[in-house]
Amino acid sequence: MISAIQVSNLSKTFVVPEREAGLKAAVKSLVRRKTKEVKAVEKISFEIAPGEVVGFLGPNGAGKTTTLKMLSGLLYPTAGEVSVLGHMPSRREKSFLRQITLVMGQRNQLVWDIPAMDSFELNRAIYRIPVEEYRRTRDEFIELLEMKDLVRKPVRNLSLGERMKVEIAAALLHRPQVLFLDEPTIGLDVTMQRRIRTFIGEYNRRHGATVLLSSHYMADVVALCRRVIVIHHGKILFDGDLNSLVGRFSAYKTIGVTLTNGTVDLAAYGDVIERDTTRVTLRVTKAETPKVTARLLADLPIADLTVEDPPIEDVIELVFAQEKPQ
């Protein structure tokens, strides 16, 4: 199968000015400006199949946004090759731009001072959407995202969550085949996050769109992505199945124990990481988990016992801590 997105040895280096603090340094920098090279993305390679939803994870400054901007043609790579739907993004071919979209949670494509509906009309003209198709899509999105009352208000009057709903609708009006989503749920409450992620999932199912999703909220990633790419300091640390990420990087499991007669000291069974009046949470190595579980069941009056992988956030932290590119 031909990949929707192909990235090979992609790099981006920025030249940024730097100087010491103080007036002397400020004056000196007028004559002799110091700069340094910052490697935002360094020789990353990956492929994404059509219709695949991939999580793109990394801490702040890891190179996620820079990568997404290069994939959408907003930034030109310093080196390497990119192909999205068979196009080279930096060429800005209209047939390419009409098939993609980029949603940046911390930017806006809707003009703040006018209602979203007016900006939708601008997008209709720019993306050459036939009137009937435009109305059908717009009305479908208005219904799915429950934003009937929002689209006629100036965007600046909307809450963050409401604004993100209309931003996403605007970005998808032309029914793009590839979605680059850069923290689309940032700053939203849990309900709104869920609504946005359900909408993205629904869009992917209905239109078979390819999605590359960057998010700091693991709930988004767990709900939408089977595959994740983890990037740190501009390099890919992991690319694969989300479950295998946990398997590969986490050496521990957590065992939650509820006893019928209150808590006792369970330190002999593993590291106690949490304890309340009725429940104790233990951390044990993966290898010892079956043995410890059996011992707990044999030794103690257990009311409830759960064995879980550590939270995905913890696993991601472990990945960042290791920092060994694959």
Partner 1 sequence: MSVAVHQMRASYAFVERNINIVKRYWAWEVVWLTYSVVNSLSVSYIGFGMEKLGGQGVDSRFLVLYLAIGTIVWRYLSAVFYWVTDLIGIERWEGTIEYTLMAPIQRITHMLGQTAFAVVYSLLHTGVILAATVFFFDIRLTNANLWGGTLVLIAGSFSFIGISIVGAVLPLLFPERGSQMTHVIIALLLLVSGVYYPVEVLPGWLQALSRLSPATYVLEGVRATLLDGAATLTLWPYIWPLLLIGTLTIPVGLRVFRAAELYAKRAGKLARNG
- With respect to partner 1, which residue has the nearer C-beta, 121 or 239? 121
CA-closest candidate to residue 106, choices 153, 80, 69, 141: 69
73 forms part of the interface with partner 1 (CB under 8 A): yes
Single out the residue of 90, 159, 260, 326 in contact with partner 1 (rule: CB under 8 A): 90
- With respect to partner 1, which residue has the nearer C-beta, 209 or 296? 209
Which runs of E-coded beta strand occur in 260-322? 271-275, 279-285, 302-308
Question: How many whole angstroms separate alpha carbon 154 and alpha carbon 12?
Answer: 37
- With respect to partner 1, which residue has the nearer C-beta, 44 or 102? 102
Q: Which of residues 143-162 bind partner 1 (CB under 8 A)?
A: 154
CA-closest candidate to residue 312, choices 244, 229, 218, 190: 218
Binding segment (CB under 8 A) for partner 1, from list 42-50, 89-97, 211-219, 261-269: 89-97
Binding segment (CB under 8 A) for partner 1, from list 1-9, 26-34, 73-81, 292-300: 73-81
Q: Least distance from C-beta 117 to partner 1, angstroms?
A: 10
Q: Least distance from C-beta 79 to partner 1, angstroms?
A: 12
Q: Least distance from C-beta 113 to partner 1, angstroms?
A: 4
- Using CB under 8 A as the binding criterion, the count of chain residues that bind partner 1 stands at 37
- Check if the beta carbon of residue 98 is closer than 8 Å to that of residue 175: no
Q: What 3-state DSSP class applies to 65?
A: helix
- With respect to partner 1, which residue has the nearer C-beta, 77 or 270? 77
Question: How many whole angstroms separate alpha carbon 124 and alpha carbon 173?
Answer: 8
Rg of the chain's alpha carbons, rounded to an integer?
A: 24
Q: Which of residues 94-113 bind partner 1 (CB under 8 A)?
A: 94-98, 102, 104, 106-113
- With respect to partner 1, which residue has the nearer C-beta, 104 or 200? 104
65 forms part of the interface with partner 1 (CB under 8 A): yes
Question: How many whole angstroms separate alpha carbon 112 and alpha carbon 55?
Answer: 29
DSSP for residue 283:
E
Helix (H) / strand (E) containing 176: none
Q: Least distance from C-beta 84 to partner 1, angstroms?
A: 13
Single out the residue of 50, 83, 88, 122 in contact with partner 1 (rule: CB under 8 A): 122
Angle, helix 312-322 to helix 242-249, in steps of 10 degrees:
60
Residue 6 burial by Cβ neighbours in a 10 Å radius (0-12, 13-18, 19+): middle
Q: Least distance from C-beta 65 to partner 1, angstroms?
A: 6
Question: How many whole angstroms separate alpha carbon 154 and alpha carbon 48?
Answer: 37
- With respect to partner 1, which residue has the nearer C-beta, 128 or 136? 128
- Check if the beta carbon of residue 202 is closer than 8 Å to that of residue 222: no
Residues within the interface to partner 1 (CB under 8 A): 14-15, 65-66, 69, 72-76, 90, 94-98, 102, 104, 106-114, 118-119, 121-122, 124-128, 154
